Amino acid sequence: MQPDYEGLLNRYSLVLLDARGLSRETYRAYMGDLRDLVAFIRERGEDIPDRRCVRAYMLRLASRFDRASVNRKLSAIKGFFDYLLRQGCCSVNPFGHVRSLRHREHLPKFLNPDEVFDLIEAVNDPRDRALLELLYSTGIRVGEAEAMQCCDVDMHRGFILVTGKGSKQRTVPAGRRCVQAIGAYLATRGIADPIYCTEPLFLGRRGGPLGSRGMRRVIYQWSLQAALGRQVSPHVIRHSFASHMLDAGADLRSIQEMLGHASLSTTQRYTHLHVDKLMDVYDKAHPRAKEG
């Protein structure tokens, strides 16, 4: 008899929210991954998937998604079946033997400063301008922008409070242009000082919170308006922030703190973009490089 996957998914969703402290983006992605798997299992008329079913599903994922996405989906699936194992719904995790795919190292995509300025200057909508200024000024994730409340913005000191992955909070400096843009947007909502306002920082056209999908759509549409010649995502803006900070001489530890990276090795990916600059610094600074 097939387990009550719908009921189990509902209960597991609470485990994800309470125990693991995932970001909203990751939570939504995991639940989507698991619902897709359950639909696949039902199509095949399986109860607990056997090795043939597991192999067929992994082949389907590999044909449709890149390695990073496949690995994320596999992580979600393994966690779900570990939960079913603890609940006594299965005797073994059917995906437990599946190994993650090796990552191919991809350099982050980013815009040069002129392209970022052109993009922001093309925006004449107060909300959208505030959103773009915030993402570029701070390098925060789109899911973190979605979760922000008005009171998370310190208009006087120029800082914002960011709730990141695992519900960890960090304080990030925001530039003058960013603070001004947020202030102008909030003024259209009748909010002079957001310090006591717990409303979402960004609202959709119907008055509800602006979700991450809506934010992506906003950025994509304005990138077309600015005629950048390519699609721009929130993550491209985040990468641009990190790259431009590194170019300007910011140290990796500071960038790591602002980006909310748990590991410095994640931040170090940006050094690959600046090999020529690093070599120039080496040639000028290292005693052995000056010989001959």
Q: Are residues 121 and 67 in the same domain?
A: no
**Is residue 92, in this structure, part of any structural domain at all?**
no
Contact 72, 29 (CB under 8 A): yes
Pick the range with the lowest mean pLDDT from 12-26, 120-134, 138-152, 225-239. 12-26
- Count of the separate structural domains present in the chain: 2
Average pLDDT over residues 199-223: 93
Q: Which domain holds residue 187?
A: 113-280
Please say if the pLDDT value at position 292 is more than 60: no
Q: Which two tokens stand for residue 236?
A: 């491209």
What's residue 66's pLDDT? 85
pTM tops 0.85, yes or no: no
Asked, for residue 193, whether it belongs to a domain, the answer is yes
Q: Is residue 101 part of a domain?
A: no
193: tokens are: 């000082």
Q: Which residue has the tokens 């979760």?
A: 147
C-beta separation of 49 from 41 below 8 A: yes
Per-residue pLDDT tens for 255-266?
A: 888 888 777 766
Task: Please name the residues in contact with 86: beta carbons below 8 A apart, sequence gap of 6 or more.
Answer: none
Q: Is residue 48, in this structure, part of any structural domain at all? A: yes
Domain identity same for 68 and 126 = no
Q: Can you state the angle between helices 126-138 and 113-121, rounded to 10 degrees?
A: 160
In whole angstroms, give the CA distance from residue 238 to residue 135: 7
Provide the CATH number for the domain around residue 184. Answer: 1.10.443.10
- Residues with a known catalytic role: 141, 165, 235, 238, 261, 270
In the numeric block, which tokens belong to residue 127? 């909300």
Residues 81-99: tens digit of each pLDDT: 999 999 988 889 999 999 9
More confident residue, 228 or 81: 81
Confidence at residue 182, expressed as pLDDT on a 0 to 100 scale: 96
Averaged confidence pLDDT in the chain: 86
Q: What is the pLDDT of residue 253?
A: 83
Residues 274 and 147 in one domain: yes
